[in-house]
């Protein structure tokens, strides 16, 4: 039986999405690098970008899928580096799981503090999220700003936060690849990354939507 909450709202939309997934599966063929739980996330990222390089560039902490499923099932907060991620996520799907989204990149106090300390808005946004207690047990979603990801890593290493999951996929040329490499070195915090320069908010949204679908499927199976 198909998912209800995390599917497209019309039969036409569902058919297009399912046909697209089937094309991706057919063109990729075997994908031994990914588990049965990981592949739906990679597949949805390929579907969102038409970029088959993510079959290989995507990497998962061994506990990432379970951590993400458990966090969403508990209604964890999602803290994003940019508004684009929050806008891209389906509000009905999030509401069904009582998941809230947060971003602070454009808040006046964040901008003022970044200017005062000569840091980036992304750094100050994550510090604000930490002060509000959103990062402990929450899902950190970074698709744009490497400095946001590096700040989260710094706070983790200082023992100040412990996110349930980090979806770290900043895109770009300055510190993007390096920030993801640094995240991949963390052993006790689950993460999902894209290696190298490629990334972006679209990928983060795709990964989170795939996780939402996995949560719904598991809940239906347990009934």
Q: Which amino acids are annotated catalytic?
A: 47
DSSP assignment of the chain equals: ---STTS-SSHHHHHHHHHHHHHHHHHH---TTS-TTTHHHHHHHHHHHT-TTHHHHEEE-TTHHHHHHHHHHTT--EEESSHHHHHHS-HHHHHHTT--EE--TT-HHHHHHHHHHT--HHHHHHHHHHHTT-STTSEEEESS-HHHHHHHHHHHHTTS---SEEEE---SSSSHHHHHHHHHT-SSS-EEEE-SS---HHHHHHHHHHHHHHHHHHHHHH-
User: Can you tell me the distance from the alpha carbon of 162 to that of 190, in angstroms, rounded to the nearest whole number?
Assistant: 10
C-beta of residue 144 within 8 angstroms of C-beta of residue 135: no
User: Can you tell me the distance from the alpha carbon of 156 to that of 163, in angstroms, rounded to the nearest whole number?
Assistant: 8
- Cα separations in angstroms, 109 against 84, 105, 119, 131, 148: 20, 10, 13, 13, 16
């Amino acid at each position: 039986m198909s998912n209800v909450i995390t599917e497209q709202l019309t039969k036409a939309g569902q058919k297009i999405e399912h046909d697209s997934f089937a094309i991706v599966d057919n063109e990729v063929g075997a994908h031994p690098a990914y588990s049965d739980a990981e592949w739906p996330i990679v597949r949805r990222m390929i579907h969102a970008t038409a970029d088959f390089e993510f079959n290989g560039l995507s990497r998962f902490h061994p506990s990432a899928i379970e951590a993400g499923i458990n966090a969403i099932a508990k209604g964890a907060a999602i803290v994003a580096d940019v508004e684009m991620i929050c806008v891209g996520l389906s509000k009905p799907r999030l509401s069904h799981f009582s998941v809230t989204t947060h971003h602070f990149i454009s808040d006046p106090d964040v901008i003022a503090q970044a200017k005062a300390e000569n840091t980036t808005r992304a750094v100050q946004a994550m510090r604000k999220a930490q002060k509000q207690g959103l990062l402990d047990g929450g899902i950190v979603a970074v698709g744009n700003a490497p400095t946001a990801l590096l700040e989260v890593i710094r706070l983790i290493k200082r023992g100040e936060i412990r996110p349930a999951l980090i979806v770290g996929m900043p895109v770009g040329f300055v510190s993007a690849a390096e920030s993801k490499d640094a995240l991949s070195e963390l052993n006790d915090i689950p993460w999902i990354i894209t290696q190298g320069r490629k990334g972006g908010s679209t990928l983060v949204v795709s990964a989170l939507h795939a996780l939402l679908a996995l949560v719904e499927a598991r809940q239906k199976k347990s009934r």
